[in-house]
Structure 1
């Protein structure tokens, strides 16, 4: 039963008995609280089981550790549920009727069992045979006058095998149109880090968390989004490491954590303090904050040099491994402290305290999530963060480094094996050498570009390999309009979501297996591989019987689609797609032929825990044009959409950040509670500083509408949100997505990376015309 809607302060530590309670509730809710369900849970992250289909946080040992988290259980329970969405279900509901259901209600119907095709005459989906579904897709794709009129979306849950085969098919078809979930989250990481350290990946391994003495956590909420990370933070805290939480919201999980797998903490009702310092920058203020730490570090070094004392910066590292330091340091010295304080929203005193923590650390790890990446100046922010770490040589040595914490379990792996709208010439050269066809060289559509292309009539076919594209993307009404303008929309998926209801003239829902299920192909049961946030690649085997005999694996669906589409096209040598689908080790052999880093792929995944792909910057090898790690000068931005809107509206202009609830993973809504923030039974809430309430003449518990401030003449409005007093910087508010995605303009994206700026949207609040009741 859903909780009664209420706001109630949560005073317990994150994790603990509350987490175990919700684990049990989710097993019951999905009807898997039996022997099979418990066996499934116990097989999660085990060498003879499956990899968690949730987040990309790595496993501590991946051998015998009984390790899972609350949100991982939710993901597994949702996939292993006994509830089914059959053709009979669709016969009872029109698409129009289903559109009236909430995202939570759509998720709750259960697993899809049959391929379905949209019937416009009845406004219903009806059953279709697999062969007919592939023929329909091939017909649409081959009817396009230009391959660039088709977009191929990839979710971060797709395996390396499915993703590689998908990109191979699409490139032989003739396009690089690969919008993917990375475009909406860590693209600034992938774009920013190559400019400074040469590769868009983190430089740490999980073992580095055993050796660091300082952890700086930027813009993330691991207790909700990466709960297994909390175990590492707990261990680090217990051995005396200093942990600093740098986040606009003071998240409960970054205060105290009770490990559900610690007998002592569970029996004694104890917990572990996580962060010893909290820094609350204003939304979009991280760049200025990091610039302040850099400036203070250089000031301290200048003073030490003048006094003949030990240098604060790592002079040897800078001289041997970096370029551009002198210009960078001079610009930092000249930066105004007044501007740093004003733009960061953090006092000079607190910035200097943070700098002191940083320079005191001998081995520092900096982690970050989408709190840094979903801003207009996100690429510059991440480059400055890597530059800050370079000042003291905190890259490429034990216990120190850069740690971007990505979301979906294989979002990094998909990009590694070719899901990229901007492929490198070297990759395309190798692809051509191995497979013998001419690959397209022009850049394709990213996620924002895909929606724009649909709106402009340049894209007419959309095929999604997982995900919930219509709800994950910004500017929701325009995205809906875009998808409805397509001739064909296809979604390869395990469960029903809103994207399936926002369809083109023709539409298919293709049900696929989940990672928990046995993937039986001609050569026997198949394993699939993923790459976690720390570049570890490991194999995963399902253990459950598939939810329906009519399901196909993602890899098999891709192979059959490619076979149906390419058999009549003359694009170079024929590829035996179905042969690859018979045995996934053949796909891994092909990946190894294209990528040197995967040498010995099939042999190496046989080792418990798999293998590390290798990250050059971890070894202090800099794959940049200069051959060095680069210091890059960035000014503090003072002319953003936020600045311009505030110049017009004054202090009534607020900056909105979208965020997840605790009962949510990306767009998947598992429940209606966000217990660590004290929200129960509801989602349409706005977290706001009490002083801003007073300034606006509003009160905690009132209902408001939110309106975006943008200069394109489009009205963007989200109605009916409950005001909740919260510890958040003045001028900033927070609310859940996807409910607030309609407020994010499609044209508001990160410079150079085009990631939607979902953490910095200028908005105005007004009393809602209809005053609702929280009860």
Structure 2
């Protein structure tokens, strides 16, 4: 007979796992808000993570191979490596070192670990604790009604997947998610399997970060990618950074900005927060950056209101039109407008009814600062405009990027050296995934090439994106979900709604390197399949293999892991796809999956035959620095959606951002100790936050008007769709932010982002535009949440 303690433990294991971080506070300590990024503190932070994960020698040796020729591609951001001149001291940043530390750890999550820890008990930990458990080392399975994952052989795992997939009434009852860390080779085979299986349900992380960029750019310039190269940053006149924080999101970008500044470029930064990485940079590889004052980056900072960007852009355009009238032919590039664009006349007419004072009010930026920005832009031709999710996750994000293109078109600042558009991608191969046809909306041209080469007719109907997949699972239209990497639960919006959906799945499969919360909110049955990390040696047929990735600027290069894998049960992602395909499709398949299972070169040969730009792939990917993919707009060749060989001006609207008297606008962001949903630590060094994540940044005037004090405990509410969403127990932090605007960290506040709060046209979650109410913390709120 079980004792009381054992009985209580058993009862706990059958409770519903928690979909969110525990509602508890650490001991918040406020430190100095930094005015510059990197420097010696970044070096020390990188080393400390290696020490914490007990991998100083193993991980330290690998660091010097990261992003180097013949080494491996960093698994964090997609910022490009220099084509030739790479630093011998280390071509990596602090966050790259943190990512490597977690890959290089020798701590293991084994079947024995899962035997000792129930799914529910693991869900009581926070995301930081879950992530620090170590590397997953063997496949595990959670049966119907199970409370603990248990070991399963690879053969039985693939049999389980095949059984579920083949039992579906339609292939469209399955969805195949992809994270941005997946290689070109694995991505290509993954989408090939989904299409031969019979569906285009391929949600991916692009649907949550830069789908907006691709949607806007395809319809204006003819390609859904940026048009600049890294060298363009070194020799340009002006760099404008909007809604992007390079110090945290792409730290190696700081070196490019510094080099551009040294060569005479000016920088304008547009953001609600004066981020350290926008203001200054101490280069840890230069004497001045270590013992000196470092370098100032931003020449002009525009403290925009959340979603005030459209009003700001139109105000700048209005001023440029006035300056052109005073200086005919010196501000606008009329030859470029005449020969390369369409729609200019209608674009210009809209400004006859716009007022500068009103636009300045809507933007939140003073008229004086806007005039200064316009004057900085007016007489320069080589202009680069960069943006991040501060724009792409706004409801009108597609239109705002089109407005950015409008500015570059009137200036003729696209398709020439030192000028163009630069969406700063987050994950390491998110752009490569899309190039490899990871897309729920493939074109007929793409499908025709696959059909011609492989001999089967791919499905032509569009599939589900991320938001569509969540809704389809809720409606039980999707019954099996396969996740190639990532943490779908914590990255997705509307956490409670998403968790409810995932629990309805008949089978959830996650291919992962580490444990995360997405493994704990499971389907009726679930599998976790361990795979190699980017830094692990990928050995096939007794040879270390190369994979390839595509960075933010369209360079495809090889990546070769250097670390001895800590488990002999790892399969690489390509092998996982091939074995799933062979188990599921069997003799019905016309694809030689066995060939691809043993040869990346064979996969690249297939890519070469199916995707333009990959001619002689196996040779060029092995060349020093890789190769650039075709990019017609980079060379001044355009083809907007409805024009013949021209770029298109676009007419856009200014949004109504009215708030109720007790409402605030909230944007989610990440800390400096975080990459996407991976939490490396509990600090946000640059913003002066130590040992806490449950904070809300507010303007001091708003704090005073609401009768709060800095440090007060509050609960956050959203009421979109007539539904009350609650994120309880946050601490108020007074910060330099526009009034009525607030910022919080994700995934802690993803619960407040309605699944229906999306970007128009791209259907991305609008996580940077969430209307909330802030109320004094009520301890009874937890009971209300449990009843929801």
Report the TM-score range of the alignment, normalised by the length of the smaller protein.
over 0.9
Q: Which residue matches 1:85?
A: 109
Cα distance in 2 for partners of 1:62, 1:45 equals: 12
Deviation at 1:17, TM superposition (A): 1.2
**1:528 aligns to 2:552 (yes or no):** no
Cα distance in 2 for partners of 1:245, 1:739 equals: 27
Contact 1:299-1:333 at 8 Å conserved across structures: no
- Of 95-104 and 118-127, the range deviating more from structure 2: 118-127
Alignment of 1:51-66 (within 5 A): 51-61=73-83, 64-65=86-87, 66=90
Alignment of 1:144-543 (within 5 A): 144-266=168-290, 268-305=291-328, 310-522=329-541, 524-543=543-562
User: What do residues 53-112 of structure 1 show as CA deviations (whole Å, max 9, x unaligned)?
Assistant: 110000124665231100000011110111110111100011011111100010000100
**1:693 aligns to 2:703 (yes or no):** yes
Deviation at 1:213, TM superposition (A): 1.5
Cα distance in 2 for partners of 1:454, 1:553 equals: 28
Evaluate the alpha carbon distance shift between residue 550 and residue 578 of structure 1 in structure 2; reply closer, same or farther with a 3 A threshold: same
Contact 2:235-2:263 at 8 Å conserved across structures: no
**1:621 aligns to 2:640 (yes or no):** no
Q: Which residue matches 2:748?
A: 739
Cα distance in 2 for partners of 1:670, 1:196 equals: 39
Contact 1:708-1:716 at 8 Å conserved across structures: yes
**1:574 aligns to 2:590 (yes or no):** yes
Contact 1:462-1:488 at 8 Å conserved across structures: yes
Contact 2:441-2:462 at 8 Å conserved across structures: yes
Cα distance in 2 for partners of 1:392, 1:71 equals: 36
Contact 2:541-2:598 at 8 Å conserved across structures: yes
Normalising by structure 2, what TM-score?
Answer: 0.94
1:718 to 724, 727, 730: 727
Cα distance in 1 for partners of 2:122, 2:461 equals: 39
Contact 2:35-2:279 at 8 Å conserved across structures: no
**1:659 aligns to 2:665 (yes or no):** no
Alignment of 1:698-709 (within 5 A): 698-709=708-719
User: What do residues 114-149 of structure 1 show as CA deviations (whole Å, max 9, x unaligned)?
Assistant: 000003454000000000000000000000001110
Q: Which residue matches 1:38?
A: 60
Contact 2:282-2:288 at 8 Å conserved across structures: no
Contact 2:494-2:754 at 8 Å conserved across structures: yes
Cα distance in 2 for partners of 1:771, 1:389 equals: 53
Cα distance in 2 for partners of 1:250, 1:173 equals: 49
Deviation at 1:222, TM superposition (A): 0.6
Q: Which residue matches 1:20?
A: 43
1:594 to 601, 605, 610: 610
Cα distance in 2 for partners of 1:249, 1:234 equals: 21
Q: For 1:462, what is the secondary structure of its paired residue?
A: strand
Q: For 1:596, what is the secondary structure of its paired residue?
A: coil
Cα distance in 2 for partners of 1:476, 1:351 equals: 38
Contact 1:654-1:733 at 8 Å conserved across structures: yes
How many residue pairs are counted as aligned between the two chains?
Answer: 753
**1:73 aligns to 2:97 (yes or no):** yes
Cα distance in 1 for partners of 2:716, 2:292 equals: 41
Cα distance in 2 for partners of 1:62, 1:564 equals: 44
Contact 1:556-1:578 at 8 Å conserved across structures: no
1:632 to 644, 650, 660: 650
Gaps of 5+ in 2: 1-24, 782-788
Q: Which residue matches 1:100?
A: 124
Q: For 1:124, what is the secondary structure of its paired residue?
A: coil
User: What do residues 563-613 of structure 1 show as CA deviations (whole Å, max 9, x unaligned)?
Assistant: 111115x4xx52121211211011111011011211111111111110000
Cα distance in 2 for partners of 1:271, 1:488 equals: 53
Cα distance in 2 for partners of 1:214, 1:398 equals: 12
Deviation at 1:347, TM superposition (A): 2.2
Normalising by structure 1, what TM-score?
Answer: 0.95
Q: Which residue matches 2:762?
A: 753
Q: For 1:153, what is the secondary structure of its paired residue?
A: strand
Alignment of 1:555-566 (within 5 A): 555-566=574-585
Q: Which residue matches 2:18?
A: none
Cα distance in 2 for partners of 1:510, 1:762 equals: 38
User: What do residues 27-63 of structure 1 show as CA deviations (whole Å, max 9, x unaligned)?
Assistant: 10111112x2221111111122111111000012466
Gaps of 5+ in 1: none
Across the aligned residues of Structure 1 and Structure 2, the Cα RMSD in angstroms comes to 1.5
